[in-house]
Amino acid sequence: MKKKNPSQASASTIILEFMIFGHIRKFCKRSFLYRNYRKPNMSYEIDIPDKIQRIIDKKLDKHLKERLYKKLFKLEFAPHSYAKPLRHPLSGIWEIYFEKRWRVLFEIHESEKIIVIVGFKHKNEMS
């Protein structure tokens, strides 16, 4: 992961670039709406709100964050095949487990083709 020179980016945003699956991915750390060079077979974007991004930054180190982002990138292709839907009263929310310890909760907005991360917690924190 390399950071761009702060003089090239605005003061409120820092652009991060990742080389994953052979393609450069660009992230806007402040809003973290996943913006990428869209390929024809990619159908979803991943949106991580600022609140969830702060939790991820606080609880995960650099290497775990990279692995988490790789796992989230898989959701772009087929989110229904990698995740499990939750039942009533949380219907409409999906979950994936990361590193057998972390639980990522998200909603899939089919009309806009966006996946919104709504929760990220350690399995011991879940009630």
Q: What is the pLDDT of residue 126?
A: 67
93/24 Cα distance (integer angstroms): 29
Q: What is the pLDDT of residue 106?
A: 95
* Sheet strands side by side (includes 45-47): 45-47, 114-122, 102-109, 93-98, 84-85
Domains of the chain: 31-122 (3.30.2310.20)
Buried b (16+ CB within 10 A) or exposed e, 21-51: eeeebebebeebebebeeeeeeebbbbbeee
Q: Going residue by residue through the chain, which has 127 residues, state the pLDDT in tens, using 9 for 90 and above.
A: 444 454 444 433 334 444 444 444 444 444 344 444 444 455 788 999 999 999 999 999 999 998 998 888 888 888 888 899 999 888 999 999 988 899 999 999 988 889 999 999 998 886 5
Q: Judge contact between 106 and 118, C-beta under 8 A.
A: yes
- pTM of the prediction? 0.65
Tokens of 46: 């991943």
Distances (CA, A) of 9 to 13, 14, 23, 44, 99: 6, 6, 21, 26, 33
Q: What is the pLDDT of residue 12?
A: 36
